[in-house]
Structure 1
């Protein structure tokens, strides 16, 4: 009787252990759910990564294409620079040759250099060209300056009293001629020379500065103020060649 009672008493303990064991493991449905979730996440991540890889591949190809275009552009620019450099060197040689021919003309296989080229008058230390075209070819102050620049010079400026005398002496007055444009005009309410100097000697021109006015040189009369838009002959000046 005692043995049977012991066996009977052990039965509830065994059932409790089986119940506890079943509770420690997830159900089959839960396992399938977790597996499905893992598969979905894996598919999503795979899709995202594939898209990113595709985008990076496209960007890489685009950058390669752009780099190729830049290399082509660089090559073209290099060729242009080389051509310009060659042309510039040739131009400098041409100018040098022109200067030699202009200042040192060849006569019977010999060259004799002069301080001024043909058509210019020498007055140390400069060369002057007095331009006396027909009346219908007279120019405004700006046009006259452009003409001088085309001759590698500027409208005449005066540095000292000696140059003033030289310029005035070359400023012949005749017919309707009111004078010769020189490199003096009004800027910001003051008389200023083309070389950037302010006119400090007021005795050179006795007329006050007026906007839109430039100076002409008149023989035996000095400098006078006229509207820059009037048309007159003009005097160019450049540095003489040291020989």
Structure 2
């Protein structure tokens, strides 16, 4: 819009309509750019989520010890531990031998405790696993408590589940493949078996 100033010269002065139209067009362009950026960012985010899911599935397949069971569940044991049903088992090796109490302390540091035999199937799994170890005698979590025998988890000894040999004497029990469960002085030094619940992810 043209106007005349005091000197008589004509000067251009913008009209409010023009300013509003310019602002609307400019803001529309900015809004379109923002929408485009969000759209491409959304696609990028979807791609990242897809990549993460694929990577997660690969990691799960590498870590899970029960991959053939329910696909929604994954059971994990620490490296160097054996998995059986709901538990992880660690068999000490390399000639490291300790007293019963020292063995239990090592297990506790690893978030575990000495082995507790809960049923015949577990006992059979442990016996087969011991046969594959170089060391022969392993402390387990059975000890004399007063006049009776007790497991480290507090359960009483069940002679129907396993028999402690009377060949030796002592207040702690070790297991050896082929010779069963034997008593020994708790200060004797043997290998040991730790047990803890497996982690489900």
TM-score by length of 2: 0.58
Aligned to 2:156: 198
Note the alpha carbon deviations across 1:137-170, whole angstroms, 9 max, x for none: 3100000000000100001101111111122222
Q: Pick closer, same or farther for the CA change 1:192–1:211 going to 2, 3 Å.
A: farther
**Do the aligned partners of 1:120 and 1:128 also contact (CA within 8 Å) in 2?**
yes
- RMSD value over aligned CA atoms? 2.6
- Looking at structure 2, the residues matched to 202 and 123 of structure 1 have their Cα atoms a distance apart, in angstroms, of 22
Structure 2 CA distance for partners of 1:203 and 1:121, relative to 1, 3 Å:
closer
Which of 107, 124, 147 is residue 85 of structure 2 equivalent to? 124
Return the alpha-carbon distance in structure 2 between the equivalents of residues 157 and 170 of structure 1.
15
Contact 2:130 2:136 (8 Å CA) reproduced:
no
Q: Sort the Cα spacing of 1:191 and 1:202 in 2 relative to 1 into closer, same or farther, 3 A.
A: farther
**How many Å apart are 1:178 and its aligned residue?**
5.3
SS at match of 2:193: strand
Following the alignment from structure 1 to structure 2, what is the Cα–Cα distance between the partners of residues 225 and 174?
Answer: 20
- 1:221 and 2:179 matched: yes
What secondary structure is seen at the aligned counterpart in 1 of 2:126?
Answer: helix
In the TM superposition, what is the alpha-carbon distance from 1:207 to its structure 2 partner?
3.4
1:223: Cα distance to partner?
Answer: 1.0
User: Shift of residue 172 of structure 1?
Assistant: 3.6
- The structure with higher relative contact order (CA 8 Å, sep 6+) is 2
What is the alpha-carbon distance in structure 1 between the residues aligned to residue 141 and residue 126 of structure 2? 11
Q: CA deviation at 1:212?
A: 4.9
5+ long unaligned stretches in structure 2: 1-53, 65-75
- Tell me the TM-score normalised to structure 1 length: 0.49
Question: Are 1:238 and 2:199 counterparts?
Answer: no
Distance in 1, matches of 2:184 and 2:132, equals 15
Tell me the matched-pair count. 133
Aligned mates of 1:174, 1:198 — CA distance in 2: 28
Structure 1 or 2: larger strand share?
Answer: 2
* Structure 1 equivalent of residue 103 of structure 2: 144
Which residue pairs with 1:156 in the alignment? Answer: 115
Gaps of at least 5 residues in structure 1 are 1-107
